[in-house]
Structure 1
Amino acid sequence: MTSSTDRTVAVVLGTRPELVKLAELIRLLGPAARVVHTGQHYDDALSGAFLDELRLPEPEYLTGVGGQPRAVQVAAALAALDERFAAEPPLAVVVQGDTNAALSGALVANARSIPLIHVEAGLRSHDRAMPEEHNRVVIDRLADVLCAATPQNRALLLAEGVSDERIAVTGNTVVEAVRDNLPPRRERARLLGGLGLEADGYVLATVHRPENTDDPAALSAVLGELGAISRTLRVVLPLHPRTAARIEAAGLRSLLDGMTVIDPTAYGTFLALARHAALLVSDSGGVQEETTVLGRPLVVVRRSTERPEAFADFAELVAPGPGIGEAARRRLAEGPRGLRRLASLPSPYGDGTASRRIAELITRVIPSDTPRTAVPGPLVAA
């Protein structure tokens, strides 16, 4: 006899971006999905409005992971997941991207000989200073099915010696995430009006990565450049709590003067703001993908990127400092014609059916000796 959890696919995640990108896959799996949240980015909002916005069930939460150093996060999540999967083994494990939660899920799946599916496989920055680079390389080595978002990701995996039969080019689930969560035009107009914004009349900025926030000099440089932009065009800055703490600790609060600083927003609200921004300035990996779906220009403030596909048309990569303002002025000078050009281009991340492709791939790795009564049928919900 099998328990209900014997019939499930464990989706292991730990951050809001993972929830966003895996939401459609979880919905497609329906009752077969067992969502386990390691708590890497856990806060009270995750168990309320955010999950409601994404139309997701409450996950199983692990404890003792959030707020810990990287090694402690991985070790704590690894031990808790191993205990759960030993007692109630899933049919397969799905992880997305390169977080500590994804690494923990991959290691447990490998240790327990459970089929592992890696969503967003094959991203590479070739920057060993980036912890995520180590995570994604290890996960790709362990995965049974590597869901590469683009042909370039597939090529990188092949160059590393990953066998072709383990790789499938699926597109990136970010495309359907953006399309599903972008509010209707009327609601977007209401959101902009509430902030006193006009379409194409402001810059939207986000800053949260350690390379830009942990070093006071780098943080000062980024905020200084955003402040300079705000003297000619309004800058809207949803302020990440971690960044806010670093600003206070470094005594840089005055550098926010002149900017429109708001609390972190719901995902749909952020997409609405991004859709109508004349330009985005961000160090986020997800924003690099989202702007290609929204057709907006982006200045990426980072040393390196694992998403080069966005840089053919949509984005420019700059280090903290004067390059931010220079790139911003260059993209803003393209004006309405530049925005129309980007809006006409397809996203390099696919056609919006990645989640369905991945769900179908999952059914292929369910162990062949699994009793049919133990497999939800069909695995992919209608």
Structure 2
Amino acid sequence: MQTVLPARSVAVVLGTRPELVKLAELIRVLGPAARVVHTGQHYDEELSGGFLDELGLPEPAYLTGVGGQPRAVQIAAALHGLDALFAAEPPLAVVVQGDTNAALAGALAANARDLPLVHVEAGLRSHDRAMPEEHNRVLVDRLADVLCAATPDNRELLLAEGVPEERITVTGNPVVEAVRDHLPSADARGRLLAAHGLTADGYVLATVHRPENTDDERALTAVLTELAGLARELPVVLPLHPRTRARIEAAGLLPLLDGVTVLPPAGYGTFLALARHAALIVSDSGGVQEETTVLGRPLVVVRNSTERPESLADFAELVDPGPAIGAAARRRLAEGPPGLRHLATLPSPYGDGTASRRIAALIAKTVAARTSTAPKREHAALAA
């Protein structure tokens, strides 16, 4: 059921592939009320362009001069563009998701124009100040009027930081419905595996894209060395992020990929299909930590820290780049079919697949409350 909101009244600001995925269902629920603004943070056509069609999203308004820039320039350029858009056509609310530069720019633009800000996936914390995303998510949470916490633990973290209880709602994470909506049928998955010469539960799927692993040559070498070692025991499939490929080439590490099945960046459905039947996933992605809990697959997380400890309880193990990757991978692979069957019985800690409808209802409630007090707010502003 669509919320009753005026057309183009809710600005949904996004800029990366994970945001497109996680906000797709909310955009559909909002219907004509959604006004999608893409900052261009992910500017590669392989990473974002095809996703609009695959996810059934309307063509966004695009900002220019953001993609490929340093972090500060990205945020400043996106903020400048968003402020101009919001001045020309003020929305009744602004929605951002997660911890990207696009999310922070959207939050700052909403705050500058005194627009209600809704933060989807609020309350994630790695407590790692070396992560730019940690700074982004903390700042967005401080600015948000409505904080949509994915889990009760996220809510408790926000309360501990002094966020007023009335601003926080545990909604679940939209990733659950995203996975359920876009996982291809069993027949389509079977055809995909056959096309790549893969057997269900007989290969490892890997992704590597985070700067802590790609910008540090020693870390990148360690990750690829461990994947190459695993590839001598069973197939390793690596959809390769263009930025990661560039780093591998620059470091002269292409020979480490000789035994690995390298694929171009995968569409979302393709990635889910590969993940659904992998015996193990090795990744540094935050979103993959969530998706594996819906798919019921084991994961080795190659990162210094994680803001998603809920995944670590049953589905994932956190390791540093190096021999720990291979050790953890072989431990999970040794669990075999019984381990996979056990994971398949566990519910995802990220909710029941209705997060987008809850968030849409919160947006409608927030807009109604703001609209009802608008005359008082305008009078107070004039008096000041």
Cross-structure match for 2:35: 34
Please give the alpha-carbon distance, in whole angstroms, between the structure 2 residues aligned to 1:68 and 1:369.
36
Cross-structure match for 1:376: none
Cross-structure match for 2:330: 329
Query: How has the CA–CA distance of structure 1 residues 161 and 186 changed in structure 2, closer, same or farther, with 3 Å as cutoff?
Result: same
Cross-structure match for 2:235: 234
Query: How has the CA–CA distance of structure 1 residues 204 and 359 changed in structure 2, closer, same or farther, with 3 Å as cutoff?
Result: same
Cross-structure match for 1:141: 142
Query: How has the CA–CA distance of structure 1 residues 71 and 369 changed in structure 2, closer, same or farther, with 3 Å as cutoff?
Result: closer
Please give the alpha-carbon distance, in whole angstroms, between the structure 2 residues aligned to 1:369 and 1:251.
56
Cross-structure match for 2:55: 54
Please give the alpha-carbon distance, in whole angstroms, between the structure 1 residues aligned to 2:80 and 2:42.
18
SS of equivalent to 1:44: coil
Cα offset, 1:48, TM superposition: 4.9
Please give the alpha-carbon distance, in whole angstroms, between the structure 2 residues aligned to 1:46 and 1:324.
26
Query: How has the CA–CA distance of structure 1 residues 366 and 78 changed in structure 2, closer, same or farther, with 3 Å as cutoff?
Result: same
Moved more, 288-297 or 46-55: 46-55
Cα distance per residue 1:57-85 (max 9 Å; x no partner): 11000000000000000000001100110
Contact preservation (8 Å) 1:6, 1:88: no
Cα offset, 1:207, TM superposition: 0.3
Please give the alpha-carbon distance, in whole angstroms, between the structure 2 residues aligned to 1:103 and 1:184.
36
Please give the alpha-carbon distance, in whole angstroms, between the structure 1 residues aligned to 2:117 and 2:15.
17
Cross-structure match for 1:8: 9
Say if 2:110 is the partner of 1:99: no
Please give the alpha-carbon distance, in whole angstroms, between the structure 1 residues aligned to 2:362 and 2:285.
28
Query: How has the CA–CA distance of structure 1 residues 7 and 265 changed in structure 2, closer, same or farther, with 3 Å as cutoff?
Result: closer
Contact preservation (8 Å) 2:17, 2:48: no
Please give the alpha-carbon distance, in whole angstroms, between the structure 1 residues aligned to 2:146 and 2:217.
41
Say if 2:314 is the partner of 1:313: yes
Matches within 5 A, 1:217-296: 217-296=218-297
Query: How has the CA–CA distance of structure 1 residues 254 and 86 changed in structure 2, closer, same or farther, with 3 Å as cutoff?
Result: same
Structure 2 letter corresponding to 1:326: A
**Aligned-pair Cα RMSD in Å:** 1.3
Cross-structure match for 1:357: 358
Please give the alpha-carbon distance, in whole angstroms, between the structure 2 residues aligned to 1:47 and 1:156.
32
Query: How has the CA–CA distance of structure 1 residues 260 and 164 changed in structure 2, closer, same or farther, with 3 Å as cutoff?
Result: same
Between the two structures, name the one with larger relative contact order (CA 8 Å, sep ≥ 6).
1
Cα offset, 1:87, TM superposition: 1.2
Say if 2:82 is the partner of 1:81: yes
Cα offset, 1:5, TM superposition: 8.2
Contact preservation (8 Å) 1:5, 1:90: no
Please give the alpha-carbon distance, in whole angstroms, between the structure 1 residues aligned to 2:307 and 2:256.
30
Please give the alpha-carbon distance, in whole angstroms, between the structure 2 residues aligned to 1:55 and 1:106.
25
Cross-structure match for 1:24: 25
Cross-structure match for 1:187: 188
SS of equivalent to 1:366: helix
Contact preservation (8 Å) 2:240, 2:263: yes
SS of equivalent to 2:129: coil
Matches within 5 A, 1:294-305: 294-305=295-306
Query: How has the CA–CA distance of structure 1 residues 265 and 311 changed in structure 2, closer, same or farther, with 3 Å as cutoff?
Result: same
Please give the alpha-carbon distance, in whole angstroms, between the structure 1 residues aligned to 2:119 and 2:345.
31
Query: How has the CA–CA distance of structure 1 residues 72 and 44 changed in structure 2, closer, same or farther, with 3 Å as cutoff?
Result: same
Structure 2 letter corresponding to 1:22: L
Contact preservation (8 Å) 2:20, 2:51: no
Cross-structure match for 2:157: 156
Query: How has the CA–CA distance of structure 1 residues 28 and 73 changed in structure 2, closer, same or farther, with 3 Å as cutoff?
Result: same
Please give the alpha-carbon distance, in whole angstroms, between the structure 2 residues aligned to 1:192 and 1:347.
25
Please give the alpha-carbon distance, in whole angstroms, between the structure 2 residues aligned to 1:342 and 1:43.
35
Query: How has the CA–CA distance of structure 1 residues 282 and 45 changed in structure 2, closer, same or farther, with 3 Å as cutoff?
Result: closer
Please give the alpha-carbon distance, in whole angstroms, between the structure 1 residues aligned to 2:145 and 2:348.
27
Structure 2 letter corresponding to 1:293: V
Please give the alpha-carbon distance, in whole angstroms, between the structure 1 residues aligned to 2:150 and 2:350.
6
Structure 1 portions without partners, runs of 5+ = 372-382
Contact preservation (8 Å) 1:281, 1:300: yes
Structure 2 letter corresponding to 1:19: L
SS of equivalent to 2:350: coil
Cα distance per residue 1:136-183 (max 9 Å; x no partner): 000000000000000000000000000100000000000000000000
Query: How has the CA–CA distance of structure 1 residues 5 and 59 changed in structure 2, closer, same or farther, with 3 Å as cutoff?
Result: farther
Cα offset, 1:49, TM superposition: 3.1
Please give the alpha-carbon distance, in whole angstroms, between the structure 2 residues aligned to 1:313 and 1:7.
41
Contact preservation (8 Å) 1:171, 1:351: yes
Contact preservation (8 Å) 2:38, 2:61: yes
Cα offset, 1:50, TM superposition: 1.8
**TM-score in terms of structure 2 length:** 0.94
Structure 2 letter corresponding to 1:242: R
Structure 1 letter corresponding to 2:242: P
Structure 1 letter corresponding to 2:107: A
% identical equivalent positions: 80
Contact preservation (8 Å) 1:5, 1:88: no
Say if 2:131 is the partner of 1:130: yes
Structure 2 letter corresponding to 1:15: T
Please give the alpha-carbon distance, in whole angstroms, between the structure 2 residues aligned to 1:54 and 1:92.
23
